[in-house]
Structure 1
Amino acid sequence: MAIELTKEETASIVPSLQKYFREELDQEISEMRAKMVLSYFLKEIGPFAYNKGVKDAEAFFRGKVEDLTATCFEDGLTYWVKKRT
């Protein structure tokens, strides 16, 4: 599953790719080539990053759910215990 970006997101990423190629690889690339590189990364690398994010989120929420009992547990008969004191 390729990650799809909006036109605005693509427009903000393309100059960064062009700058990276220019400053790190000493190559000038056109807007069209930068979009092609971005498309390639989104199709080939994006799913790995997406899946990692999903796994991290799942682990986070599983940790919270496992602690749900401790977080939400209320001792029974609190009315009478509190009334005596």
Structure 2
Amino acid sequence: MAIELDKDVRKEAIASIQRYFRQDMENEIGNIQAGALLGFFLEEIAPVVYNLAVQDAQERMQARVSELDIDCHEEAFGYWKKYDKRR
């Protein structure tokens, strides 16, 4: 599954890469170079981050599902217990 960015997000990411190079690397990087670097990161590194995020979401969902019986448990045959308390 390829990770794609919409046009506006891609434009912001490229501008951020250019700013990073300008401020932290004290070097200018062009729009095409920044776009190529972004493409490399999206293809090479982003899937690792994506897979970790999916794994984290799965673990959280499984934890919630495993607690479902506790959160949604209802005692059976409670009518007479309630009735006996009134006496």
| Structures share fold, TM-score greater than 0.5 | yes
Higher relative contact order (CA 8 A, sep 6+): 1
Residue 74 of structure 1: aligned partner? 74
Percent identity of the aligned residues?
38
Q: TM-score, normalised by structure 2?
A: 0.89
Residue 20 of structure 2: aligned partner? 20
Q: Which runs of 5+ in 1 are unaligned?
A: none
Structure showing greater radius of gyration is: 2
Residue 47 of structure 1: aligned partner? 47
Deviations 1:40-69 (A, max 9, x none): 000000100000000000000010011111
Residue 33 of structure 1: aligned partner? 33
**Which whole-Å CA distance do the structure 2 matches of 1:71 and 1:78 have between them?**
18
Q: TM-score, normalised by structure 1?
A: 0.91
- Equivalent pairs counted in the alignment come to 85
